Amino acid sequence: MTGLKPSSGDERATASWADLARNAGDGAAPEDRPEDLRQLLTFEIAGSPYAVPVERVREIVRIRPITPVPRVPVEVRGVISLRGEIVEVVDLRRRLDLPPIEPGRSTRIVVVSSETGKVAGILVDAVREVLRVSEDTINPASSGESTCVEALCVRGEEFVSLVDLDRILEIDAEY
Amino acid sequence: MAKKRAPTRRRSSKADREFISEAEEIVERMRDDLADLNDQRSESDEVDPELVNRIFRSAHSLKALAGMFGFDPIQELAHRMEDILDDIRLGRVSIHSSAVSLIEEAVAVFGSMLERLGEPDAIADESERIANLTQRIEAARSESQSDSGGFGALDLDPSILRALTEYEEHRLRENIERGRNIVLVESIFEIISFEEGLSDLSAAIREMGEVLSTLPAPGESPDSEISFSLLAATELSLAEMTDRLNFPNAKVRLVLDNPAGKAAKRAREPAPAAESTESHPELHAGERNPEGDALHSLKSISDTVRVDIRKLDELMNLVGELVIQRGAIGEVVARLLADTKTARIGTDLDKVCKMLDRKLKGLQASVLDVRMVPLRQMFDKVSRVLRGLRRELDKDVRLDIRGADTELDKLIVEELVDPLMHIVRNSLDHALETPEERIAAGKNPEGCIKVEAFQRGNHVVIAVSDDGRGIDSEKLRTIAEERGVIRPDENLTEQEVLDLVFVPGISSRAEVTETSGRGVGMDVVRSNVTALGGVVDIASTPGRGTTISMTLPITLAIIQSLVVRVAEHRFAIPLNSVMETLLIEPAEIQRSEGREMLNLRGDPLLLRRLATEFELTSPPADAKQFVVVLGMGDQRIGMLVDNLEGQQDTVIKPIQGPIQSVRGVAGATELGDQDPVLVLDVASFVDGSIRKREAA
């Protein structure tokens, strides 16, 4: 499935999704404490890293024509077809109050699902990598600051924002 | 981030309820059938084999159900019961033995267990009784195994005898004992149409007796033909049977001229059964059919596969995609045909495509058929709930159910249970008066709720009517004004006022419940039905009652759509709602009260611009426009679009994602080029509910 090739840069364009996950495992903490380890898929929006748990990612697809849906909030860009399934695409930039940009070569749609099985695509500037991080590097986000970041993962100098998928997936209204 | 887990306990209690409701249904059926069985036993020495089969099937279903939900003791007992019923229907255990009372006892145990299933010790308390009962059933089985006799007297090829199942053997023996003649009917059929021919022949034989077994005959027949032998039992003589069986290819041969039969027949001559054989073959057919079918349905116990509806969806998706691919080939054909150099290949390909089309249609139809279920089960559920509520609310009400055999897509039925329950509950709760009030109003103290289903064209209508107090539209209007849903000066027709019950701001208020006789959540009913591509209508006469009808598409599967274009957007409109299309000049559009209208052969047609409804860029006003005339129920509107792009087979799919539903959009579909195209929810345009949001 070509759709599963994550490729934030060209050097990774041929790496398979499973390879990426495995590579991430190699450099990280030992395997004997899997309970405390979390795998995160990181991606970029406006230069900053964001992440979602790997187990919630169904696939990553290249940008494709998005059919707009009338009279919905701007953050819903429209719908795409995934092998017969029709899935809404949420523009995370809009959700984070950032100006939208024209999709480019590295733009991807990360297809995620909620625990209840709800599915949506998330439009991101670029996909980076799969991280294996230990549970104690994850800190809850200070409340009230953001609408869709639920935690921050400290990676040396950098903070990776963990996206609150339930918030993204439950706009929960009729339009 | 703590990992969330679904609370298992709550889920299991929900599962319990599900189990109980289904199991109760089965046990109820067993009780009914057992009662019939006992009646028949006391009247004659022969019972309807189908009755035993039915109880057997019920026990089988109960076993499977209990197994699925993990109620082992119930499963075990149902299993024993199945065993002994199997013995009875195969004639190994006599119907007159104590076996039947054991079965009755088992059914009683099921009943009391189901009643107490919520209690923690229910299963443990009954386990001793169950163990004791299973033991006694086992004992009864080993005691009364009767011997099986040979079929030496039959003039029949041993290979045929060997091919008989145990049940068929039993039926054969039973019929010989009853003194019936045994015949073998051989017939040749064209291989392409043999199913039809065979079922016609079986039906004809069933009018004269019982079809014991249908066996393919060893073939010296040519490839294009296939022959079958039907072993049958009849009270007719060979001559009578040959005479009556009007099938040129069928040969009847006597296998056993039963001497006992003639005596028995003479003795019973005035009896209705014999009489009907003589003079009312059609009556006889009705009587015999269950027996004949029993053979088939019995087999189907093991032939039936329970399928997850999602697998059917996958299948449907695949078929849908096949159809879409077929569309793409059609485009290639058109290109080939357009060029003189390739026109010949195009013609050939076109022919092949036409054949493919036929097969695809057949495939679609079969997959569709698998998904269709009768509404009976849903109606039974409603009736059960209503019986419970009736006691609770102390209201005298009769439930009148019609059209339970109407079939609908399984998925639609699943989604309809809640809305239907809601409507019926509302009728009982709010619309029906108390017996005292009814007497005071000069009505029958017993209220009536009618649930009716029927097919209308490509739709199925499910209507719930009550003869209650009806809706006070004055009060409804006042409340709508108070809530700011409508302006006090707004000019609404009676129907528009009634439709207000579906507006969220109105129906969720408790006050309306008491005053208007309509309860909460009608807006939810509407949105559920709309999501299925259906429409809800309401009609009410004060003092006389209210009717709420849901009109639903028969299936969510493949439908023909008209693809239209507005600016750069394409939309699909289900063709079953398109009455006609027109090309008009802007000058033909007239205005009345700010609404755009068209004179359609003398009738005013309200126009809606798709561009305006969906807030898309409008085309220049002086361009010619296409009008798509949409109809749903009795209402018509004209939809203005920029262009028509042709008809397509489309599979309407739900849109997945954070936004639950978009007004005016029923779903999306893929056309040949893979881009999703939104499918319009015609109902919301026709009844104007696409605009209600702004109003509310």
Between the alpha carbon of residue B594 and those of residues A17, B597, B648, the distances in Å are: 58, 9, 35
Task: Write the DSSP symbol of residue B642.
Answer: S
In a domain, A164, yes or no: no
Residue B211 has pLDDT above 80, yes or no: yes
Mean pLDDT of A96-104: 84
- Alpha-carbon distance A38 to A47, whole Å? 23
Query: Do B367 and B385 lie in a common domain?
Result: no
Q: Which of B4, B665, B668 sits opposite A115 (nearest CB)?
A: B4
Last residue of one domain, picked from the residues B143, B168, B190? B143
* Tens digit of each residue's pLDDT (9 = 90 or more) over B641-665: 998 888 877 777 778 888 877 888 8
The answer to whether residue B501 sits within a structural domain is yes
pLDDT tens for each residue of B593-633: 888 899 888 888 999 989 888 888 766 666 788 999 998 76
How is residue A162 written in tokens?
């963990």
Domain co-membership, B338 together with B244: no
Task: Please report, for the domain that includes residue B580, its CATH number.
Answer: 2.40.50.180
Residues B546, B544: Cα–Cα separation, whole Å: 7
At residue B2 the predicted structure's pLDDT band, cuts being 50, 70 and 90, is very low
The complex scores an ipTM of 0.76
pLDDT (tens digit per residue) in A29-55: 444 455 578 899 999 998 899 999 999
What's the pLDDT score for residue B286? Answer: 36
A104 in any annotated domain: yes
A36 has a chain B CB within 8 A of its CB = no
Whether B22 and B69 have beta carbons less than 8 Å apart is answered as no
Residue B696 is assigned to a structural domain of this protein: no
In this structure, is residue A165 part of a structural domain?
Answer: no
- Give the residue on B whose Cα is nearest the Cα of A120: B657
| Residues B489, B578 within the same domain | no
Among residues B248, B275, B303, which one ends one of the domains?
B303
Residue B293 forms part of a structural domain: yes
State how far the Cα of B213 lies from the Cα of B167, in Å rounded to an integer: 10
B137 and B163 inside one domain: no
What are the tens digits of pLDDT across the range B567-601? 888 999 988 788 888 888 888 888 888 888 998 88
pLDDT in tens, B214-242: 887 765 556 677 788 888 888 888 888 88
Residue A53 belongs to some domain of the structure: yes
3-class state of residue B297 by DSSP: helix
State residue A144's pLDDT score: 60
State the residue range of the domain holding B290: 158-303
Nearest residue on chain A to B322, alpha-carbon basis: A84
SS (H, E, C) B328-385: HHHHHHHHHHHCCCCHHHHHHHHHHHHHHHHHHHHHHHHHHHHHEEECHHHHHHHHHH
- Cβ–Cβ gap B657/A76 under 8 Å: yes
Domain CATH code at residue B473: 3.30.565.10
Please tell me the pTM assigned to this model.
0.44
Residue A19's domain comprises: 2-62+84-136
Please state, in angstroms and rounded to a whole number, the distance separating the CA atoms of residues B542 and B554: 32
* Whole-number average pLDDT of chain B: 77
Rounded to an integer, the average pLDDT of B37-62 is: 81
The pLDDT assigned to A89 comes to 94
Strand partners, B561: B574, B648
Domain assignment present for A154: no
Q: Looking at the 3D structure of chain B, how many domains does it have?
A: 5
The torsion angles phi and psi of B677, rounded to 5 degrees, stand at -125, 135
Determine the Cα–Cα distance for residues A120 and A76; give it in Å rounded to an integer. Answer: 10
In a shared domain, residues B368 and B382:
no
Query: Which of A122, A102, A98, A115 has its CA nearest to residue A42?
Result: A122
E strand intervals along B413-567: 447-456, 459-466, 535-541, 545-553, 558-566
What's the pLDDT score for residue A80? Answer: 92
A11 burial class (0-12, 13-18, 19+ CB within 10 angstroms)? exposed
Which range, of A84-88, B3-7, B397-401, averages the lowest pLDDT?
B3-7
Tokens of B422: 């809601």
Q: Specify whether B526 is located in the same domain as B397.
A: yes
Residue B410 to residues A86, B372, B385, B461, B524: CA-CA distances in angstroms?
21, 6, 21, 15, 21
Q: Are residue B280 and residue B324 in the same domain, yes or no?
A: no
Q: What is the CA radius of gyration of chain A?
A: 16
- Dist. CA B110–CA B130, nearest whole Å: 10
Determine the pLDDT at residue B677.
Answer: 92
Task: Return the minimum-mean-pLDDT range out of B8-22, B185-199, B619-633.
Answer: B8-22
For residue range B59-85, list pLDDT tens digits in order.
888 888 887 777 788 888 888 888 888
Residue ranges of B 517-556 with Cβ closer than 8 A to chain A: 527
Query: For chains A and B, what is the number of CB pairs under 8 angstroms?
Result: 107
Q: Given B553, B580, B605, which residue is the final one in a domain?
A: B553
Residue B153 lies in a domain: no
Residue in chain A closest to B5 (alpha carbons) equals A115
**Domain total of chain A:** 1
CB contact under 8 A, A90 and B658: yes
Question: Are B658 and A168 in contact (CB < 8 Å)?
Answer: yes
**pLDDT over 60 at B297, yes or no:** no
Are B663 and B682 spatial neighbours (Cβ–Cβ below 8 Å)?
A: no
**A145 CA to chain B: closest CA distance, Å?**
18
Q: Has residue B328 got a pLDDT over 90? A: no
Least confident of B59-63, B287-291, B682-686: B287-291
Length of chain A: 175
Asked, for residue A116, whether it belongs to a domain, the answer is yes
Q: Is B661 inside a domain boundary? A: yes
Query: What DSSP string describes B46-60?
Result: ---HHHHHHHHHHHH
Q: What is the 3-state secondary structure (H, E, C) of B571-596?
A: EEEEHHHEEEEEEECHHHCEEECCEE
Q: Rounded to whole angstroms, what are the CA distances from B17 to B12, B14, B20, B21, B208?
A: 9, 5, 5, 6, 46
Rounded-to-integer distance, Cα B576 and Cα B560, Å? 7
**B593: alpha, beta or left? (left if phi > 0; alpha if psi -120 to 50):** left
Q: State the pLDDT at residue B421.
A: 87
Residue B474 lies in a domain: yes
Phi, psi of B237 (to 5 degrees): -85, 170
A29 occurs within a structural domain: yes
H or E element in which residue B295 lies: helix B281-303
Residues B358 and B415 in one domain: no
The verdict on B425 and B523 lying in the same domain is yes
User: Do B35 and B119 fall within a single domain?
Assistant: yes
From B565's Cα to the closest Cα of chain A, the distance in A is 13
Is residue B325 predicted with pLDDT exceeding 80?
Answer: no
Tell whether B602 is covered by a domain: yes
Q: Are residues B368 and B293 in the same domain?
A: no
B524 and B442, same domain (yes or no): yes
